[in-house]
């Protein structure tokens, strides 16, 4: 399997953490979604990451669909998302909230990256920052210990861990640790684990500088 995308994408990173957690070997293609868009479009017509190229040649796109496939390969006893019942709903709802919050952090980051400061839409930026805060606050309120939803690590923890890592990198002012003590502790807990350490962003995996 080849995972396409760089680890400064929290969506790529949650797939990488999941692969490492399941001890599934994979190679990487660290094409840039921005500076190598033409090559990227041959893999995913939407020019988005992550994608996962399978040995059969099939290409899976979108972290939700990729993780669904990995969970199936891992089997229900090992899957990071419970197979049924209230436990499954709880984890999936947490993942939906964390992924939506990640999208809002991404929207702020893109707005700031693609527009010179004078041309930012302050209205859009404010809206996204408010949505980002609301998502973080809800996650903080619902967060359990030692893990978000259970005594064991689940896909909720993987996705939240990647979200917090991304917010700290791209919109750091949105995450004062004192305001989100449970999420901060969860993030540290995640980042110490082997699957997170193996999926850390390297210095050359960042968005290209603006010209
Ligand atoms: N729903 C998608 C979201 C993926 C996503 O937003 N990827 C970003 C990088 S973090 C991307 O490809 N951005 C480039 C673009 O959308 O043009 C998933 O879960 O994989």
Q: Is 66 in the pocket of ligand 1 (CB under 6 A)?
A: no
184 alpha carbon – ligand 1 mean position (Å): 24
Q: Is the CB of 49 under 6 A from ligand 1?
A: yes
CA gap 126, 115 in Å, rounded: 15
Angular region, 82: left φ>0, alpha ψ -120 to 50, beta rest? beta
Query: 211 pLDDT exceeds 80?
Result: no
- Assess whether the C-beta atom of 9 lies below 6 angstroms from ligand 1: yes
Take residue 13 and report the two structure tokens written for it. Answer: 């990173």
- 47 pocket-lining for ligand 1 (C-beta < 6 Å): yes
Considering only CA atoms, which residue is closest to atom 11 of ligand 1?
48
Question: Looking at ligand 1, which atom is closest to the CA of residue 62?
Answer: 20
11 CA → ligand 1 middle, Å: 7
pLDDT score at 150: 82
* CB of residue 18 inside a 6 A radius of ligand 1: no
- Phi and psi dihedrals of 59, rounded to 5? -120, 125
Question: Which residue among 3, 11, 128 is best mutated to probe the pocket of ligand 1, counting the most ligand atoms within 8 A of its Cβ?
Answer: 11
Q: What is the pLDDT of residues 64-84, one digit of tens each?
A: 999 999 999 999 999 999 999
Rounded mean pLDDT, 21-47: 96
Mutation test residue for ligand 1: of 6, 15, 49, the one with most atoms within 8 Å of CB:
49
Q: Express each pLDDT in 13-30 by its tens digit.
A: 999 999 999 999 999 999
Cα distance between residue 21 and residue 16, in whole Å: 8
Mean pLDDT along residues 37-48: 97
What is the torsional sign of CA 210, 105, 178, 13?
negative
Q: In the predicted model, is pLDDT for residue 137 greater than 80?
A: yes
205 in contact with ligand 1, CB cutoff 6 A = no
Distances 114 to 7, 51, 59, 72, 91 between C-alpha atoms, Å: 20, 24, 29, 38, 34
- Ligand 1 center to residue 26 CA distance, Å? 20
Q: What pLDDT sits at residue 209?
A: 74
**Domains in the chain with CATH codes:** 2-79 (3.40.30.10), 85-193 (1.20.1050.10)
51 CA to middle of ligand 1, Å? 10
Tokens found for residue 149: 């939803």
Lowest mean pLDDT across 106-110, 116-120, 139-143, 162-166: 116-120
Q: For the segment 172-200, what is each residue's pLDDT rounded down to a tens digit?
A: 999 999 999 999 999 999 999 999 999 99
Instruction: List Cβ neighbours of 66 (8 Å cut-off, separation of 6 or more).
Output: 15, 50, 51, 52, 60
pLDDT confidence of residue 151: 86
> Worst-scoring range by mean pLDDT, 35-39, 80-84, 89-93, 202-206?
202-206
- The model's confidence at residue 204, banded by pLDDT at 50, 70 and 90, is confident
pLDDT for 205 = 84
pLDDT tens string 94-133: 999 999 999 999 999 999 999 988 999 999 999 999 999 9
Q: What is the pTM of this model?
A: 0.97
CA of 151 to the centre of ligand 1 (A): 30
Q: What pLDDT is recorded for position 198? A: 98
């Amino acid at each position: 399997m080849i995972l396409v995308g760089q680890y400064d994408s929290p969506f790529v990173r949650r797939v990488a953490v999941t692969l490492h957690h399941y001890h599934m070997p994979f190679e990487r293609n660290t094409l840039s979604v921005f500076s190598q868009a033409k090559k990227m479009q041959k893999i995913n017509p939407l020019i988005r990451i992550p994608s996962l190229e399978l040995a059969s040649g099939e290409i899976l796109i979108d972290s939700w669909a990729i993780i669904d496939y990995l969970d199936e390969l891992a089997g229900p006893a090992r899957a990071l998302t419970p197979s049924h019942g209230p436990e499954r709903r709880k984890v999936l709802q947490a993942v939906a909230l964390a992924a939506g919050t990640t999208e809002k952090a991404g929207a702020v980051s893109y707005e700031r990256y693609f527009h010179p400061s004078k041309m930012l839409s302050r209205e859009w930026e404010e809206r996204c920052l408010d949505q980002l805060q609301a998502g973080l606050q809800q996650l903080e309120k619902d967060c359990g210990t030692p893990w978000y939803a259970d005594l064991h690590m689940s896909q909720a923890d993987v996705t939240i861990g990647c979200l917090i890592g991304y917010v700290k990198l791209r919109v750091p002012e949105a995450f004062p640790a004192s305001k989100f003590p449970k999420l901060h502790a969860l993030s540290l807990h995640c980042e110490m684990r082997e699957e997170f350490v193996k999926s850390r962003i390297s210095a050359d995996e960042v968005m290209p500088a603006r010209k």
